[in-house]
Each structure stands twice: as structure tokens, then as C-alpha cells.
Structure 1
Amino acid sequence: MTKDQSLARSLTRRRALLAGAAAVGAAGTAGWLASVAGEEPIRPAAPAAGPHASRALKPSAHRLQPLTGYGPPRAAPRRTLIRRKPFLRVSGRGRAMVLTFDDGPDARYTPYILDTLREYDVRAMFFVCGEMVAENKDLVARMADEGHVVGNHTWSHPLLTRLSRRRIRAEMERTCDIVEEAYGERPAWFRAPYGAWNRATFQLGADLGMEPLAWTVDTLDWTTPGTRTIVDRVEDGAAPGVVVLSHDAGGDRTQSVLALRAYLPQLLDSGYFVTVPERKYT
């Protein structure tokens, strides 16, 4: 072996040793960083058989997730079924009833209704009109804070059966948007103004993820029949699963406010559980 050949072999061996030391050092540094971060150290994998085959390092799901979206697949949201008629009652345990208030929120009457519901620790449903929400977002935010359910009652309370599909959708969708802004969630329930339903209202409501809810007992409070008459209608119609319709806007609702203060404690004393419905997808 010549002197030059000996020198070349020595340099080649030295490079190999340096490369090996660098690899070990890098692996050790990676292990230390992982241990500081609270993860398992990454250990170098042993080479597999074959001239170029090697076992890939096991990826860290935590580190890859922000880039590749690794993780359990998300379940696709279920679409709301298209109903042919609205719900008139709700199912629940025992003597459960639902109180609903339409057309608001109204700064003159809705706060008093919310005060009464809070006093008796009761949750209710408010089917709101978008144009009223635009003026009273603080009341819708309060409804969210106090656990009430806010439903869609269109933007301007039109008779939907006389509108085109495009207009109906605009009334519904615009209200969904402003409810989400004020309440924090898009409405899961819809009620047609005047109880006027047709095929388009059911289809478009379902497209927007809403179930249709009507009522069992109509207090007819919008006719201002007198506080005592409203109270009697609620008490006479009380039964498990009943949905009561009242109003907190759309006119003088003083009688509605006073009637609630009278019949609510009586319902509770009679053993009724006033609640809000759970959303059903089937």
C-alpha cells in the first residue's frame, strides 16, 4: 500500500466516524428537546434489510396535526329531515310543558318576561323576528346567558305562503345570521308567522338546519282579551307535552306580562315542569 492510499483510507474512516458521531448527537439532541416538551424521545430506528431500505421514524401526531390534519375524522353533520307538518307537542318526562313567546324581542315587554322566568328559574323559547333582534341584540344575548332557546320567526313577519321560495329563504336566512351574531348559535327551531306553513317553508327550514314547531295552546293574547282570560286559557290547556303560544311584541303586551306572573307559579305548584325541547333529528 502506498503512502497516498494509506492517507486516503485514513481520511475516509475519519469521515465515517465524524458522520456517525453527528448522527448520534442529533438524535440525542432531539431526544432532549422532546423530553423537555413532555414527549417521548425520538429514538433512531435500526436499518432494515436491503441496500437502501430503512424504517421510517414514527411521526408525531401532535406535531403533524396543524399541518396535515391528522387525527380522528370528523363526523359529517346530519341534515334535518324535511317534515310535512310542524311539531305541536313535545315529548318529555313527567308533566313537562313549554312556554313560547313570539314576535320579539321588545324593549318594553321582553325584559319583564325574562325577569319573571329568572325569578322562577324557568327556561322558555323565544321565536324572534330579525328586524326586532337588530334593535335589541342585548336582550337576545341575555336569553343566551339565561339558558333560553331562541328560534327563527322570519325577518319581518310576512305571510310566507304568499312569497316566492327566494323571498322565504331570504327571510329565514337573514334572521339565522343575526340570531347567530347576537345569541352565539344559529337557531335550531323555526315557526311560521300566523302558523301558515307550506311545502317550501318545511324544505327551506330544513335546508337551514331548523325543525318546525307550532303550538298546542294559543292564548290569543294578541287580541288583548284580558289578563284573567289569558291565565284561564293556559291553566285550562295545561297538560304534559303542551306548547303554549304567547307574545312579547307586536303590540301592547302588558296583559301577557301580567298573565305570566299569575299562571307560571300556579303551573309549578301544580307539578308541571316548564322546560325547553331537545332538538330531534329523527
Structure 2
Amino acid sequence: MVNETINRFSVSVSAEISNWGLKFNTEGKAPVGNATYDYLKKYNAYYVDKTDEKIAYLTFDAGYENGYTANILDTLKKHDVKAAFFLVGHYLEEEPGLVKRMINEGHIVANHTYNHPDMSKVFDEESFKKELTSLEAMFKEITGQEISKYYRPPQGRFSENNLEMANELGYKTIFWSLAYADWCKDKQPTKEQAFEKLIPRIHPGAIVLLHSTSKTNSEILDELLTKYKELGYSFNTLDELVDEESKNSKANFFSNFYNFFD
């Protein structure tokens, strides 16, 4: 049954298991993903904004609360930066106050699945759907609102099947083009180690992934955002990313349409 499901899809990305990965070739330039921008776009999935402008998108993953999110929110407010927070069911259950604060302060709250499983091993549509819709239901119960339809696969593990199913559920899958090893609670990087990765690798259109469970991120965020701004970067939201892509797609369609009649 699994093989039948897998064989329905072309193998541009491994249909069985894929770990999202990046290769940085040039400082200040977008890295190469192990799935291309154009390939991902077929499924309304993104890892970078295709732009030459110094725009970045700040995103946080939160599997649990580690005491740092309030400070992170304070810093975002200070810099007037709107971020996206990808949350799991446990976080919604335990921290409804912080979730409501995220919303009230203009941040996007998005879907990181209910149980944070390895989604690359989820092949059947019903199980995949349940991971996303269970979180949707809890979010609506807590906030009275619909969750933003952005989905990030836990640990970046996915399959082509997953991309298609997320798209069919109306979700846009969001990977990243800049991250670093910040997630281990007992092995936090130093400020210097963080900046060694996060400063030289910033690039136009970067989707930056940080974990809100990180003590280091909480401590460096103010200086990090200051440094990014000094380099000329401003911050957009995922809504603006998608809206711009939609505009570009329409513009290309009409351009091709009119060229056909020239």
C-alpha cells in the first residue's frame, strides 16, 4: 500500500523520506536547498523569497515553553518586527496566554502539527490531515480564530506526498533558508557561535528559523535584529511573501498571455 502511494509521485524529492537541507555557496547569497524553489512552488511550498531586496522573514518553532518567549516577544515589539510562530498541540494547551499575546501583537501563529511526529513516515491522507486539523481545532477553541494556513514539518522531515496533502488542505509549507543548531536545551551555542552562522549567512529573501526554546536566542535577539537592520534588512511577514508571489504569478501569466498574441 505504501509503495502504491509513493509511486503516484515523480521523484524530484525522495518520495520515502527527505530531510530538509541547505548548501551555502556564497556569503550573502541564498543557499541551495535539496529541493528547488520552482519544485516546491508547485505545492505552494517555500524556503526563500526569490528577491534581490534585503528583506527577511523571521520565524520561530516552539514545541514547548522554556521561559524565553515573553522576552522574545518584548524584543520583537521593541524592533517592530512581526514574526511567525509555528506551534504544536502541547504549546497551545499549556500556554494559551502567550499564544493570545502573539496574536494581539500582530504575529502569525501557524501549524507545526499536533504531536510533532516525523511526518515523512505519514503516508495516508487521514493521519496527515488529523495532525493538522487537530491543531486547528484547538487553536480555534482557545482563540476563537482560524489558524493561519502555514505548515512547517517537524525537524524539516517530509515527503513529496506530504507536500501534496498539505497543499490540498489549503496549507503553504514553509521551510527555511537560514537556521543554526539552537534547539538543544542542554547544549546551547554561545553568542559568538550564533553570530558566526546568523550574520554572514543572512541574504535577500531569507526565511530565518529560530527556536523560541533557546536561551541563546532570547539573549541575542535584540543585538541580532539591530545587526540585520544595520546591514540594510527589513522584515516582512509570510502573508506578504505569499501575496507578492501571487502578484508575480498573475503578472507572469498576463505577460505570457499578451505575448502569445503579439
Alpha-carbon distance between aligned partners in 2 of 1:139 and 1:110, rounded to the nearest angstrom: 8
1:116 to 75, 86, 89: 75
Higher relative CO (Cα under 8 Å, sequence separation at least 6) belongs to 2
**Corresponding position of 2:93:** 134
Q: Which whole-Å CA distance do the structure 1 matches of 2:52 and 2:101 have between them? A: 27
- The structure with the largest strand share of the pair is 2
CA distance in 1, matches of 2:69, 2:63: 7
Gaps of 5+ in 2: 1-39, 250-262
Q: Distance in 2 between matches of 1:270 and 1:138?
A: 34
| Residue aligning to 2:36 | none
1:275 corresponds in structure 2 to: 236
Which whole-Å CA distance do the structure 2 matches of 1:273 and 1:90 have between them?
Answer: 13
Corresponding residue number in structure 1 for 2:28:
none
The alpha-carbon deviation at position 82 of structure 1 amounts to 8.4
Alignment correspondent of 2:158: 197
Q: Aligned partners of 1:92, 1:188: CA distance in 2, in Å? A: 23
Partner in structure 1 of residue 11 of structure 2? none
Aligned position for 2:225: 264
- CA distance change for structure 1 residues 104 and 116 in 2, over 3 Å: closer, same or farther? farther
- Given that 1:180 and 1:186 are in contact with CA atoms closer than 8 Å, whether structure 2 keeps it comes out as yes
Instruction: Assess, with a 3 A threshold, how the Cα gap between structure 1 residues 211 and 85 changes in structure 2: closer, same or farther.
Output: closer
Contact 2:44 2:167 in 1 (8 A): no
Q: How large is the Cα RMSD of the aligned pairs?
A: 2.3
Counterpart amino acid of residue 195 in structure 2: V
Aligned to 1:233: 197
Answer whether contact 1:179 1:187 (CA < 8 A) is retained. Answer: no
CA spacing shift, 1:258–1:169, aligned 2, 3 Å: same
Which residues in structure 2 correspond to 1:69-148 (within 5 Å)? 83-84=42-43, 86-91=45-50, 94-104=53-63, 106=65, 108-148=67-107
- From 215, 223, 227, the equivalent of 1:254 is 215
**Aligned partner of 1:122: which letter?**
V
The answer as to whether partners of 1:129 and 1:157 remain within 8 angstroms in 2 is yes
- The TM-score, its normalising length taken from structure 1, stands at 0.64
1:96-115, Cα deviation, whole Å (9 max, x unpaired): 10111102462611111101
- What residue in structure 2 maps to residue 168 of structure 1? 128
In structure 1, give the amino acid aligned to 2:116: H
Paired position in structure 2 for 1:47: none
Q: Distance in 2 between matches of 1:82 and 1:265?
A: 32
> How many equivalent residue pairs?
199
What's the CA shift for 1:119?
0.9
Task: Pick the aligned partner of 2:139 from 166, 176, 179.
Answer: 179
**8 A Cα contact 1:82 1:206, kept in partner:** no
Matching of residues 9-24 of structure 1 within 5 Å: none
Give every structure 1 segment of 4 or more consecutive aligned residues whose post-TM-superposition deviation is greater than 6 Å.
Answer: none
Unpaired runs of 5+ residues, structure 1, are 1-80
Residue 159 (structure 1) aligns with: 118
Q: Indicate conservation of the 8 Å contact 1:99/1:245, yes or no.
A: yes
Q: How big is the shift at 1:244?
A: 1.0
